[in-house]
């Protein structure tokens, strides 16, 4: 299994603090040491850092921990290989272009014996169940909306339906974003926290590190952090109910009425 | 205009020395300071580092200069914006998936008033002529070979034809690779050098730096470096004749008989 980390904010924010704790799970406080990756959206642009080395030993992860990249949509992943060998081409997040936008996807779980028919548009480069599932998602979206990205109202039920189908095969927690919308699906385990004014101090579980968010934020900032398991031990995280597909926007999950 | 740097080798090699000189042109010894990028293939996997900052001021470029990533196919680019604003989504190299392989593309030149019809499979995310041209190339390849990657013998004439069409619009120097084949097209300016035993010392033009390749290579290593203009001042670089589309393999350009 693997672990997921996501961030969605109303203003570009760096993820250094959360990534510090998260990346410690890549070989130090936990055993997810078969590679890692992180994607940052900056407008329509997208930076993707990947490494098949454990996150705690990777010079690229060191850069991400130290260099504050400001982004509104971030997806990160540390890998414990279940399907597919330890290799760069099997590191999450995966990225493809659809409708003139980059789409980024990371998966936690396992889809046993998952062997979808060859897709017409999107083909996996590696050999993980996760990348195959990502290709199925994009393929289905493209087939349903060949002319361009639809409204969230139209997109959401189609994505929910594909997600349910894939989730019936096995564990299928995932984060998915195109830099505009941010989707988080809980199959078995996924939590989130929304930080907003009044901000307080937060202390990491995986490292003895505290940040007082009051010192580094303004009153209107709002940041949602989504993770397989909570990253801090002095805040209340919300567990997403299994089967729920949340849509985050401006640092907050949309209500059911807003998303469909 | 921009500058291109490519490397193709028979064994995975780091590009630190060449990138040191090349990246100095991104704001220090030359004025290509509107962003940069570099892609490294490792098998079918591909790492892509991008930054809209000048290469000489980018912490990500600093990582690439210092951290020896070993690869057989590398494409790098420093940008002087002609079309499209300075932004991450307009930084080269661009990457897409075709036939279950990543394809990476970087362009030096300018295609004035280039406005291809909306493509069916591949759509640009940014607004450069370069990314549009890349989409046209992939679209045409896919349309000609819908069932998968053909042999080089079949692929080469189709790629040459698209290249000639695009080159008739404007300056179209480019590097293109899928981690297996490495294409280099000279429209106006592109040079290369092949380093192999007996290796000697090389001295950069843009930095006072020398590497004695004899100390860091084995007898069977062969490395081709391709660049808009030569990177060293004590070696003989070969200028690619305008109109030529070379294919590099194992650190050497294939002959006309081998490629078509």
pLDDT(A119) > 80? no
Q: Which of A89, A96, A121 sits opposite B44 (nearest CB)?
A: A89
Among A105, A84, A86, which Cα is nearest to A95's? A105
A4-16 average pLDDT score: 94
A–B interface: beta-carbon pairs under 8 A: 84
Strand-pairing partners, residue B211, are: B202
Do residues B5 and B232 make contact, with C-beta atoms less than 8 angstroms apart? no
Verify whether residue B9 is a known catalytic residue. no
pLDDT, tens only, A23-81? 888 777 777 788 999 999 999 999 999 999 888 888 998 898 888 899 999 999 998 87
- B95 contact residues in A (CB cutoff 8 A): 95
pLDDT, tens only, A79-111? 887 888 999 999 999 999 999 999 999 999 999
Say which range, A63-67, A128-132, A178-182, has the weakest mean pLDDT.
A63-67
pLDDT at B114: 93
CB contact under 8 A, A99 and B124: no
Which regions in chain B score pLDDT beneath 50? Answer: none
Which residue of chain A comes nearest to B139, CA vs CA? A121
| Residue of B16, B89, B90 best to disrupt the A interface, most CBs of A under 10 A | B89
CB contact under 8 A, A59 and B48: no
Q: Which of B50, B51, B97 sits opposite A125 (nearest CB)?
A: B97
Using a CB–CB cutoff of 8 Å, tell me whether B123 touches chain A.
yes
Q: Which CATH entry fits the domain spanning B3-107+174-259: 3.40.50.720, 3.40.630.30, 3.40.50.1860, 3.60.20.10?
A: 3.60.20.10
Q: What is the mean pLDDT of chain A?
A: 92
Sign, Cα dihedral of A119, A122, A123, A124: negative
Using a CB–CB cutoff of 8 Å, tell me whether A89 touches chain B.
yes
Q: How many CB atoms are located within 10 Å of the residue A113 CB?
A: 8
- In angstroms, the Cα distances linking B84 to A56, B119, B125 are 38, 19, 11
How far is the C-alpha of B104 from the C-alpha of B102, rounded, in Å? 7
pLDDT at B260: 64
pLDDT at A260: 64
Using a CB–CB cutoff of 8 Å, tell me whether A126 touches chain B.
yes
A174-200 average pLDDT score: 96
Domain residue limits, chain A? 3-107+174-259
Using a CB–CB cutoff of 8 Å, tell me whether B52 touches chain A.
yes
pLDDT, tens only, B151-194? 999 999 999 999 999 999 999 999 999 999 999 999 999 999 99
Counting residues of chain A whose pLDDT is more than 90, the rounded percentage is 68
Q: Which of A47, A63, A122 sits opposite B63 (nearest CB)?
A: A63
Q: Tell me, what's the ipTM?
A: 0.93
Work out the burial of residue A137: count CB atoms within 10 Å of its CB; fewer than 13 is exposed, 13-18 middle, 19 or more buried: buried
């Amino acid at each position: 299994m693997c672990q997921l980390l996501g961030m969605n904010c109303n203003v570009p924010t760096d993820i250094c603090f959360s990534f510090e704790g998260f990346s410690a799970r890549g070989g130090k406080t936990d055993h997810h040491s078969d590679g890692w990756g992180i994607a940052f959206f900056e407008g329509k642009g997208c930076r993707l850092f990947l490494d098949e080395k454990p996150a705690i030993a990777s010079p690229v992860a060191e850069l991400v921990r130290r260099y504050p990249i400001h982004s509104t949509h971030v997806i990160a992943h540390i890998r414990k290989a279940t399907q597919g060998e330890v290799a760069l081409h099997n590191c999450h997040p995966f990225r493809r272009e659809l409708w003139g936008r980059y789409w980024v996807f990371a998966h936690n779980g396992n889809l046993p014996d998952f062997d979808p028919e060859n897709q017409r548009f999107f083909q996996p480069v590696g050999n993980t169940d996760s990348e195959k599932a990502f290709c199925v998602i994009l393929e289905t979206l493209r087939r349903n909306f060949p002319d361009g990205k639809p409204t969230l109202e139209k997109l959401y039920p189609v994505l929910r339906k594909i997600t349910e189908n894939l989730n019936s095969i096995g564990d299928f927690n995932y984060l998915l974003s195109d830099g505009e919308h941010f989707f988080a699906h809980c199959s078995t385990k996924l939590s989130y926290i929304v930080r907003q004014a009044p901000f307080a101090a937060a202390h990491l579980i995986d490292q003895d590190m505290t940040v007082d968010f009051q010192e580094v934020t303004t009153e209107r900032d709002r940041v949602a952090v989504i993770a397989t398991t909570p990253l801090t031990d002095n805040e209340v995280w919300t567990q997403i109910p299994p089967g729920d597909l949340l849509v985050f926007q401006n640092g907050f999950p949309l209500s059911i009425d807003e998303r469909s």
